[in-house]
Amino acid sequence: MVFTEEELQKVWVAFSESIQQDMPRLYQVMKHKVPELENGTKIKIKVDSETQKSEFQERLAQKLIGFLRDKLENDFIELLLEVVESDEVKNLLFSASDKFNYLLELNPNLQLLKQQFNLDLE
How far apart CA 97 and CA 50 sit, in angstroms, is: 11
Q: What is the DSSP letter of 2?
A: -
On average, the pLDDT of the chain sits at 88
At 104, is the pLDDT very low, low, confident or very high (cuts 50, 70, 90)? confident
Mean pLDDT of 31-45: 91
The total of other beta-carbon atoms located within 10 Å of residue 3's CB is: 18
Answer yes or no: do 79 and 59 share one domain: yes
At 88, is the pLDDT very low, low, confident or very high (cuts 50, 70, 90)? low
- Its domain, for residue 43, covers 5-85
Mean pLDDT of 58-75: 94
Answer yes or no: do 60 and 111 share one domain: no
Q: Which of 121, 38, 46 is nearest to 82 (CA)?
A: 46
Cβ(44)–Cβ(35) under 8 Å?
yes
How far apart CA 47 and CA 3 sit, in angstroms, is: 23
3-state class (DSSP) for residue 83 = strand
pLDDT, residue 90, reads 57
Answer yes or no: do 61 and 39 share one domain: yes
Answer yes or no: do 55 and 96 share one domain: no
| Domain of residue 35, CATH code | 3.30.300.180
Answer yes or no: do 52 and 11 share one domain: yes
pLDDT, residue 6, reads 92
Answer yes or no: do 40 and 68 share one domain: yes
What total of structural domains would you count in the chain? 2
